[in-house]
A and B are shown apart, each in its own frame.
Chain A
């Protein structure tokens, strides 16, 4: 039931782009994205609700394809500050208001 995130880890040079995918075996109502830096609490990036919308947040954006039950997070022109672990959290349509997170994608941006 846990959504599958890919890749598990990625190393980028500053300025490069990355895509992180989150895929579920169940129909989704919403997808949340968070970033967590080492030793800190997760920080909210964005939430996408059923409807296939795409959202943007500075150079970070995300899409939600409800038919494919997946979401993708796009990081463009990466900065050193983007380093951290990215988690997607999903709420399934029949799961009440329970949130299930993926195992995370470690992203490291080097100069």
Chain B
């Protein structure tokens, strides 16, 4: 089954403790991206990747890192999480930019 898988689905952590949210797709898509969703603000793009080893900043990249060492995986790294990064995070992939995007089920992160 074609899908985008995020883990974990829920995470509660403390300020400053490094964490990684994984994202994996099985559709051989080239384009992958991360979004955060906050009430009233819609989806805001954090980072995107056009292909392996090619990443670029989205609209709200501060406080986040990503890597794309393999085509299928695009982890999101928070080196020192802060409470303002409490949010619902979505990973998405598409064959190329400007084609249909498939979203993962989301990761609800709480930083206390």
A47 at the interface (CB under 8 A from B): yes
Chain A contacts for B84, CB-based, 8 A: none
17 CB contacts below 8 A, A to B, read A1-B59, A2-B42, A29-B98, A34-B101, A41-B90, A41-B106, A42-B90, A42-B103, A44-B102, A47-B99, A49-B98, A97-B98, A98-B48, A98-B59, A100-B59, A101-B42, A101-B44
Q: How far is the CA of A96 from the CA of B47 in the complex (A)?
A: 12
Q: How far is the CA of A91 from the CA of B103 in the complex (A)?
A: 18
B18-37 contact mask (Cβ, 8 Å, vs A): 1 or 0: 00000000000001010100
A84 at the interface (CB under 8 A from B): no
The residue in A1, A98, A99 that gathers the most chain B C-beta atoms within 10 A of its C-beta is: A99
Instruction: Bin the interface of chain A by size.
Output: 20 to 34
Count how many pairs of residues, one from A and one from B, have CB atoms less than 8 Å apart in the complex. Answer: 58
Interface of chain B: mostly helix, strand, loop or mixed = strand
Q: How far is the CA of A44 from the CA of B90 in the complex (A)?
A: 14
Residues of chain B in range 71-102 having any CB-CB distance to chain A below 8 Å: 90, 97-102
Chain B contacts for A41, CB-based, 8 A: 90, 103-106
Interface residues of A (CB under 8 A from B): 1-2, 29-30, 32, 34, 40-44, 47, 49, 87, 89, 91, 96-104
A99:B56 contact, CB within 8 angstroms: no
B43:A89 contact, CB within 8 angstroms: yes
Chain B contacts for A100, CB-based, 8 A: 44-45, 59
A30:B98 contact, CB within 8 angstroms: yes
Chain B contacts for A32, CB-based, 8 A: 101
Chain B contacts for A42, CB-based, 8 A: 43, 90, 103
